[in-house]
């Protein structure tokens, strides 16, 4: 950087090619011999310097990809050349320099809280190596491997996201890892794998995702928060399986979900597991769509940082200058990003999401237009403009338990549409062919893994929130169920449709509405299920609706005030209605009898209670 007078430079670069938003020294001082820590002193501290470098490099690469700007590629390549020297040679001009960086030095760097946060910086270097043919850039990407405290554990499928003090891996890492610091790293590890880095990088990314989803996931797809006895930092991972005990102080940072969606998408590119897209849909249609205020205000981004699921919480919007402000703006420009994906050989088109979108595929001569108001309606239409052989792979969501039907030009298709799969339409297409898809929405309940009476209500893919402040809403629902087990028949009733076309529901005096409605009204994402006695319709047996002892919760890390494993579990009625629908009353009574016998064997019912339950079930045919 030249002085304003045009005189000599007022600093001497350590390595050529540096470009950044902060001085070069603020990046180099993260490593030896200074090991700068997070803080506000511009002369001695540092603040996620490689995270900042990643943002600039990613922007330059995107400028090259999207506009063909050769200068952008030249600049980002020089930045990568600088990064290679910074992460191998190190801070050579410092008086305490002891030689090139070692693997041990790098491991220590990446465990420095916030200072060592590098976002997804490791994703860009394999891309640059691929574009330039220079293999050193893949080696630069490998420098970011956090092998002491996380990467190796993920390769071995050991869960170390939350540990006890005596089991801390690494010299510097805390007991709980910062969620959004680490998710982007695994997006980068996939990039290393894709450019020849080796199988362990894919294995690490896959195993890491499996540690987060679903074991640490709230109903809206977010993660993060506290639990009794933990430190008060909502941005950190919670204990595995710790959902019910984290709800009251949940964090769920929006940009963590942004990065988990990216990781799920990229994993799906290699393993076409529909579960990745089920998560993607959950996070997208709930947390991401709910992250922008329903307002026309333009004074700031009006996006969320945290999206807590605490009872009666009010979402907060704004966030100029935060990480969630930046990704929060990007979220709403990329709804079409994952709707369509093509196979490597061009022979198949994957339809992953039901979103209004148009795909133009010049190499195959196809244009495919999707029309839908999903998730405000349960159907979609694909119009094919093109001719030739092509497999359409249509995603059947895991929640689509009431059916998934497909027509072509109005003719029903014979497809094996099982929830959580894809169905294939393989045919020679003609211009103007229309594919109709229908997937009836139903009401369903999801239980917290560590406390089954803590539950969330879904309408198809959409989380429903209970309006109102205060403590957890409490509901009794089983007395309303018929043999089909359909909550929508009487237990939870359809209400008015909003001006925007969103459905509402009522249950037990509460109003429920879709999570994506983003205003300042207090709402609860979970409720507490209160089912004190075994009932069949209005027939009350008088027998307590006891829990089966499933030894819940099984937390890896002890939670203050909670015995682990505890004595929690699903109730008699939970286990009974999990078997619905029942084709006739005889099958229903048989299920009641078998379950009551099991409860007697487990010491949960007496023989007299078993007899009362079975007798009342037989009498309840008219009720059900």
605 part of a folded domain: yes
Instruction: State mean pLDDT over 363-390.
Output: 97
Query: Are 349 and 410 in the same domain?
Result: yes
CATH of the domain at 255: 1.50.10.10
Please report whether residue 263 resides in a domain: yes
Flag whether 203 is in a domain.
yes
Residue 70 neighbours by CB distance under 10 Å: 9
pLDDT at 5 over 80: no
Q: What is the largest CA-CA distance in the chain?
A: 97
User: Which of 275, 305, 331 finishes a domain?
Assistant: 331
DSSP state letters, 99-146: SS--HHHHHHHHTSTTTT--TTGGGHHHHHHHHH--THHHHHHHTT--
Same domain as 317, residue 352:
no
Please give the average per-residue pLDDT across 174-202, as a whole number. Answer: 96
What's the CATH number where 408 sits?
2.60.40.1180
**Does residue 272 sit in the same domain as residue 417?**
no
| 155 in the same domain as 277 | yes
Reduced to 3 DSSP states, what percent helix, strand and coil does the chain have, rounded to the nearest 5?
30, 20, 45
CA 613 to centroid of chain Cα atoms = 41
Identify whether 110 is part of a domain.
yes
Distance CA 144, CA 560 (A): 35
Dist. CA 9–CA 457, nearest whole Å: 63
Same domain, yes or no: 115 and 184: yes
DSSP for residue 618: H
Radius of gyration of the chain (CA): 27
Whether residues 297 and 172 fall in one domain: yes
Give the pLDDT confidence score for residue 610 in this predicted structure.
98
- The parent domain of residue 350 ranges over 340-372+379-438
Beta-bridge partner residues of 292? 303
Q: How many CB atoms lie within 10 A of CB 99?
A: 10
Q: Exposed (0-12), middle (13-18) or buried (19+): which is 89, by Cβ within 10 Å?
A: middle
Helix axis angle for 199-212 and 254-268, nearest 10°, is 130
Is 501 inside a domain boundary?
Answer: no
On the question of pLDDT at 6 being above 80, the answer is no
The token pair that represents 421 in the structure block: 């799969």
Mean pLDDT (the chain) is 94
CA 567-572-578 angle, to 5 degrees, is 110
In 348-461 the beta strands, taken as DSSP E runs, fall at 348-351, 357-361, 366-372, 379-385, 388-396, 405-408, 411-412, 421-429, 433-438, 443-448, 451-459
Residue 623's pLDDT is what?
A: 92
Rounded CA separation 229/237 (Å): 14
**How far apart are alpha carbons 460 and 482 in whole angstroms?**
20
The verdict on residue 301 lying in a domain is yes
Considering 423, 438, 453, which residue would you say is the last residue of a domain? 438
Shared domain for 394 and 260, answered yes or no, is: no
Structure confidence at residue 250 (pLDDT): 82
DSSP-based three-state secondary structure for 59: helix
Measured in degrees and rounded to the nearest 5, phi and psi for residue 429 equal -85, 150
Distance of CA 565 to the CA centre of its chain: 27
Same domain, 177 and 277: yes
Show the 3-state SS of 225-282.
ECCCCCCCCCCECCCCCCCCCCHHHECCEHHHHHHHHHHHHHHHCCCCCHHHHHHHHH
Q: Per-residue pLDDT tens for 433-474?
A: 999 999 999 999 999 999 999 999 999 999 999 999 989 999
Looking at the domain assignment, is residue 565 inside a domain? yes
3-state secondary structure of 357: strand
Residue 541: strand, helix, or coil = strand
Cβ neighbours of 223 (radius 10 Å): 27
Q: How do residues 61-106 score in pLDDT, each as one tens digit?
A: 999 999 999 999 999 999 999 999 999 999 999 999 999 999 999 9
pLDDT digit string, tens, across residues 587-624: 999 999 999 999 999 999 999 999 999 999 999 999 99
Query: Where does a domain end: 388, 404, 438?
Result: 438
212-216 contacts, C-beta under 8 A, 24 or more apart: 212/161, 212/183, 212/237, 212/260, 213/260, 213/264, 213/279, 214/279, 215/240, 215/241, 215/449, 216/161, 216/240, 216/241, 216/242, 216/243
Q: What SS3 class is residue 2?
A: strand
Least confident of 183-192, 330-339, 459-468: 330-339
Quote the crossing angle between the two packed helices 124-132 and 70-88, to the nearest 10°: 120
Model confidence at 3, pLDDT cuts 50, 70, 90, reads very low
Q: According to the model, what pLDDT value does residue 299 have?
A: 81
Burial 438-450 (b: 16+ CB within 10 A, else e): bbebbbbbbbbbb
- 400 within domain boundaries: yes
Considering only CA atoms, which of 49, 60, 63 is closest in space to residue 20? Answer: 49
The string of pLDDT tens digits covering residues 309-330 is 999 999 999 887 788 877 888 8
The whole-number pLDDT of residue 75 equals: 98
Asked if residues 244 and 454 have their Cβ atoms less than 8 Å apart, the reply is yes
Residue 282 shares a structural domain with residue 418: no
Q: Say how many Å lie between the first and final Cα of the chain, rounded.
A: 80
Q: What total of structural domains would you count in the chain?
A: 3
- Regarding whether 262 and 138 lie in a shared domain, the answer is yes
pLDDT at residue 8, as a whole number: 54
For 571, counting Cβ atoms within 10 Å of its Cβ (0-12 exposed, 13-18 middle, 19+ buried), the class is buried
> Is the Cα torsion angle 543, 549, 554, 559 positive or negative in sign?
positive
CA distances from 29 to 87, 92, 205 (A): 11, 11, 29
Question: Do residues 277 and 358 share a domain?
Answer: no
For 475, the enclosing helix (H) or strand (E) is: strand 474-475
Give the whole-angstrom CA distance, residue 378 versus residue 381: 11
- Give pLDDT tens digits for 122-180: 999 999 999 999 999 999 999 999 999 899 999 999 999 999 999 999 889 889 999 99
Whether residue 9 has pLDDT greater than 80:
no
Same structural domain for residues 347 and 319?
A: no
What angle is formed at CA 536 by the lines to CA 566 and CA 582, rounded to 5 degrees? 90
Mode of pairing for the β-strands spanning 462-467 and 510-514: antiparallel
Q: Is 423 helix (H, G, I), strand (E, B) or coil?
A: strand
């Amino acid at each position: 950087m030249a002085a304003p007078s045009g005189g000599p430079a007022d600093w001497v670069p350590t390595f050529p090619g540096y470009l950044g938003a902060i001085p070069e020294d603020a990046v180099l001082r993260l490593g030896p011999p200074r090991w700068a820590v997070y803080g506000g002193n511009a002369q001695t501290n540092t603040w996620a310097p490689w995270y900042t470098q990643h943002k600039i490099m990613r922007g330059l690469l995107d400028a090259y990809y999207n506009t063909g700007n050769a200068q952008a590629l030249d600049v980002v390549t020089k930045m990568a050349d600088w990064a290679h020297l910074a992460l191998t040679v190190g801070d050579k001009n410092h008086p305490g320099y002891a030689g090139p960086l070692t693997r041990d030095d790098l491991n220590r760097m990446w465990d420095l809280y916030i200072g060592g946060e590098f976002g997804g910086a490791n994703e860009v270097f394999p891309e640059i190596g691929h574009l330039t043919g220079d293999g050193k850039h893949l080696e630069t990407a490998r420098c970011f491997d956090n092998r002491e405290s996380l990467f190796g554990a993920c390769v071995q499928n050991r869960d170390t996201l939350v540990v006890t003090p005596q089991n801390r891996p690494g010299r510097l890492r805390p007991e709980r890892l910062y969620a959004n610091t680490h998710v982007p790293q695994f997006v980068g590890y996939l990039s290393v794998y894709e450019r020849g880095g080796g199988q362990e990088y894919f294995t690490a990314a896959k195993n890491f995702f499996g540690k987060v989803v679903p074991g640490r996931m709230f109903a809206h797809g977010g993660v993060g928060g506290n639990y009794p006895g933990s430190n008060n930092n909502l941005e950190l991972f919670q204990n595995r399986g710790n959902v019910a005990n984290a709800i009251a102080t949940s964090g769920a940072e929006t940009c963590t979900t942004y990065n988990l969606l990216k990781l799920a998408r990229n994993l799906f590119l290699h393993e076409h597991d529909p579960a990745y897209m089920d998560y993607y849909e959950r996070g997208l249609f709930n947390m991401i769509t709910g992250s922008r205020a329903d307002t026309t205000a333009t004074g700031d981004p009006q996006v969320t940082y945290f999206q807590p699921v605490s009872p009666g919480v009010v979402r907060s919007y704004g966030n100029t200058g935060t990480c969630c402000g930046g990704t929060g703006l990007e979220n709403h420009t990329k709804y079409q990003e994952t709707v369509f994906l093509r196979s490597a050989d061009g022979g198949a088109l994957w339809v992953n999401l039901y979103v209004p979108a148009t795909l133009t595929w010049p190499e195959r001569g196809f244009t495919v237009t999707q029309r839908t108001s999903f998730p405000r309606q349960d159907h979609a239409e694909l119009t094919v403009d093109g001719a030739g052989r092509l497999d359409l792979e249509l995603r059947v969501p895991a929640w689509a338990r009431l059916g998934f039907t497909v027509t072509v030009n109005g003719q029903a298709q014979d497809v094996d549409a099982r929830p959580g799969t894809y169905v294939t339409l393989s045919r020679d297409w003609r211009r103007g062919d229309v594919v109709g898809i229908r997937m009836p929405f139903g009401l369903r309940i999801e239980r917290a893994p560590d406390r089954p009476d803590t539950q969330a209500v879904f309408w198809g893919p959409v989380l429903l929130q209970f309006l109102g402040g205060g403590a957890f809403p409490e509901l009794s629902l089983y007395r309303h169920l018929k043999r089909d087990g359909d909550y929508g028949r009487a237990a939870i009733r359809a209400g008015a449709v909003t001006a925007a076309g969103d459905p509402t529901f009522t249950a037990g005096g509460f109003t429920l509405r879709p999570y994506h409605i983003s205003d300042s009204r207090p709402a609860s994402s979970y409720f507490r299920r209160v089912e004190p006695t075994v009932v069949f319709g209005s027939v009350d047996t008088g027998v307590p609706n006891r829990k089966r002892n499933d030894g819940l919760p099984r937390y890896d890390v002890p939670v203050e005030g909670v015995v682990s494993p505890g004595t929690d579990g699903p109730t008699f009625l939970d286990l009974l209605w999990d078997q619905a629908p029942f084709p006739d009353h005889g099958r229903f009574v048989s299920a009641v009898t078998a379950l009551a016998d099991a409860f007697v064997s487990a010491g949960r019912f007496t023989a007299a209670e078993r007899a009362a339950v079975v007798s009342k079930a037989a009498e309840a045919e008219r009720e059900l």
